[in-house]
């Protein structure tokens, strides 16, 4: 085991909630909390390109700490992006201003799989590990640090579409046209993800979240075959590798955004993830009923509800806690915070969660 001598942890609420232990107040963090809605982030972005920030541990650390310095949050998440994996596999990824990620040479058909490389993650993505280690020291034990990755199907979507898409039609067509090559691609991505998550824990990540942001494009059969199968494999292999390296396991969060209730059930019953993230379309009371008592739920206020009045945001947060219940619950939004969200809304949301 690598000895980092990290400062001891002062706030472990999110770890307790993930493991199903009682907490004195609801732990809260916000997806995309280190980002564009913060003026201090804008200042850094005005001077540096997006991926330069990701690749420079001092900058990534600084941006990760920005929301922690401003707000009473119970977790931090390392500043990076899910698309560093396609990059490490040899695809060019650019962050186009006002557009989002662009992959100018996407995978068109299975012949293009030969363009992908199986990187040595410890070298190609070392900068993420270094950012994590540095951030653990700078956090000084204030809150745990979350590491993350995109899930295979979500990354495959970007690799084939060449960027965001409202239909994912090209990527979904692969599932029917090239099922075998789809599995080959998903397996290649999965192998990279497993090494990447293990590296993040070795570097100091105390929780891991897997973003299946494109879960909404799959019916239950497709979810089972192309998403769940690999999510389960990721969890099992990461835990096994950590055990073999004599490193304590960390809780894992799966966020299958837009997955159907049946798909969520498949994931919950399997128990390969301690925590399931829910988007805002899922009813908290129904989710509790359907997903059983052995999983922690995370979420799920509509990011757009952050545009209501502060009093309303506080009331919504409190209502959410009473609907989810105070055990096995982690407060969050149902997707990433939007770029022009008022800072005062973040304060109200956290206040509401903590006062519930």
> Binding to ligand CP3 (CB under 6 A): which residues in 133-172?
148, 164
- Decide if residue 36 touches ligand CP3 (CB under 6 A): yes
Is 239 known to be catalytic? no
Catalytic residue from among 158, 217, 226, 329: 158
Which of 336, 341, 345, 351 binds ligand CP3 (CB under 6 A)? It is 336
Give bridge partners of residue 94 from the DSSP assignment. Answer: 102
- Decide if residue 31 touches ligand CP3 (CB under 6 A): yes
Q: Left, alpha or beta for 5 (phi > 0: left; psi -120 to 50: alpha)?
A: left
Q: How far is CA 25 from CA 226, 302, 335, 355, in A?
A: 37, 22, 22, 8
| Pairing of the two strands 94-96 and 100-102 | antiparallel
Query: Taking contact as CB under 6 A, which single stretch among the options 79-87, 104-112, 185-193, 239-247 is the one that binds ligand CP3?
Result: 79-87
110-120 per-residue burial string, b: 16 or more CB within 10 A, e: under 16:
eebeeebeebe
* C-alpha triplet 64, 69, 72: angle, nearest 5°: 105
Instruction: Report the alpha-carbon distance of residue 266 to residue 189 in Å, rounded.
Output: 22
Q: Specify whether the CB–CB gap between 252 and 274 falls below 8 A.
A: yes
> Binding to ligand CP3 (CB under 6 A): which residues in 211-270?
211, 213
Q: Show the binding pattern over residues 38-77: x = contacts ligand CP3 (CB under 6 A), - = does not.
A: -------x----x--------------------------x
Smallest distance from ligand CP3 to CB 253, Å: 12
Task: With CB under 6 A as the rule, give the number of residues binding ligand CP3.
Answer: 22
Is 36 known to be catalytic? yes
- Decide if residue 288 touches ligand CP3 (CB under 6 A): no
| Contact residues for ligand CP3, defined by CB under 6 A | 31-36, 45, 50, 77, 79-83, 95, 100-101, 148, 164, 211, 213, 336
């Amino acid at each position: 085991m690598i000895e980092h001598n990290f400062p001891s942890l002062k706030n472990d609420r999110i770890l307790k909630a993930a493991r199903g232990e009682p907490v004195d107040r609801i732990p809260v963090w916000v997806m995309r909390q280190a980002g564009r809605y913060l003026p201090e982030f804008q200042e850094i972005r005005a001077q540096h390109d997006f991926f330069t920030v990701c690749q420079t541990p001092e900058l990534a650390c600084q941006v990760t700490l920005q929301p922690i310095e401003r707000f009473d949050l119970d977790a931090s998440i390392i500043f990076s992006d899910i698309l560093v994996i396609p990059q490490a596999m040899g695809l060019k990824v650019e962050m186009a201003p006002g557009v989002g990620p662009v992959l100018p040479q996407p995978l068109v058909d299975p012949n293009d799989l030969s363009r992908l490389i199986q990187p040595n993650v410890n070298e190609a993505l070392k900068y993420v590990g270094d950012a994590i280690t540095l951030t653990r020291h700078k956090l000084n034990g204030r809150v745990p640090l979350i590491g993350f990755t995109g899930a295979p199907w979500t990354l495959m979507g970007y690799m084939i579409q060449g960027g965001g898409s409202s239909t994912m039609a090209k990527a979904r067509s692969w599932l029917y046209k090239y099922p075998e090559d789809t599995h080959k691609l998903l397996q290649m991505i999965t192998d990279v993800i497993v090494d990447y998550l293990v590296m993040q824990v070795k570097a100091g990540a105390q929780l891991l979240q897997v973003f299946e942001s494109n879960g909404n494009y799959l019916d239950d059969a497709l979810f089972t075959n192309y998403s769940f199968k690999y999510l389960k494999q990721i969890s099992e292999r990461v835990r096994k590798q950590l055990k073999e390296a004599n490193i304590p396991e960390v809780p894992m969060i799966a966020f299958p955004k837009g997955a159907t209730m049946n798909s969520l059930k498949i994931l919950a019953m399997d128990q390969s993830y301690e925590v399931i993230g829910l988007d805002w379309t899922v009813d908290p009371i129904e989710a509790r009923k359907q997903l059983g008592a052995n999983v922690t739920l995370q979420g799920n206020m509509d990011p757009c509800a952050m545009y209501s009045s502060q009093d309303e945001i506080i009331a919504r947060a409190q209502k959410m806690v009473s609907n989810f219940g105070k055990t096995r619950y982690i407060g969050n939004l149902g997707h990433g915070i939007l770029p022009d969200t008022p800072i005062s809304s973040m304060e109200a949301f956290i206040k509401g969660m903590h006062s519930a």
